[in-house]
Amino acid sequence: MARPKLTLRNRSDAELEAYARKVFERLSSGGAFPSLQPDLATFGDVIAGYQSSRLEVSSLQTNLRAAFARKNGQRRHLETVLTQVASSLSAATLGNAKELVAAGIDTIDRGSPVGVLPAPLNFLAKPGDREGRINLRWKAMVRARMFEIQSQLEGAGDDWTNLRSSTRSRCFFDGFTPGKRYVFRVRAMSTAGPGPWSDLAFCRAP
């Protein structure tokens, strides 16, 4: 006797809806099943309710991506203005550290070269807000020029893939296979070169 093989958790939201709708349509055109539990009408209502919720979430995600894009644009603008303000203050004070600090500007002691930085701490990987996205974050490191990030499928041994570098202590990456479990690591880059890798972070792609 055959048993159903649904593999529902491996289907995306849209795939789940399409699969349920296919079953509903086949049942609707293939004759009555008086013992069907729940009945066909209830089954159809559940599909319609799920579709409504899925479309609502899709619309919210579209609006959220647009809001993030606007925020990121404003952030780039603010970073540019802050850089201009800092450069202007540096010129006006002739690089006087006390005056720059009094104005709220962080300074670097040019007499203290940056060495190899330690491994980033508190490295975490979490599912993102869309299919195939994973968010990464770690403790900020003031003197890091950038961070090198690598990933691999869990159990892949030494087969690491280089992801794009980041100048910040948090980022996200898309394109991971839903349901697959991935491993990540990050290291800080300074003028002295790369530091040691962080502890590994694990995450299953949504």
DSSP 19-46: HHHHHHHHHHHS---TT-SS-HHHHHHH
- Domain closes at, from 107, 139, 161: 107
Is 70 exceeded by the pLDDT of residue 145? yes
Mean pLDDT score across all residues of the chain = 88
Residue 48 included in any domain: yes
Task: Provide the pLDDT for residue 31.
Answer: 66
Residue 49 has pLDDT above 90, yes or no: yes
CATH number at residue 174: 2.60.40.10
- Containing domain of residue 175, as a range? 124-204
Please list, in sequence order, all residues whose beta carbon lies within 8 angstroms of the beta carbon of residue 131, skipping any fewer than 6 positions away.
12, 13, 178, 206
pLDDT-derived band at 71 (thresholds 50, 70, 90) equals very high
Residues 45 and 102 in one domain: yes
User: Distances in Å between the alpha carbon of 160 and those of 156, 180, 195?
Assistant: 8, 15, 17
Domain count within the chain: 2
Supply the pLDDT for residue 151.
Answer: 95
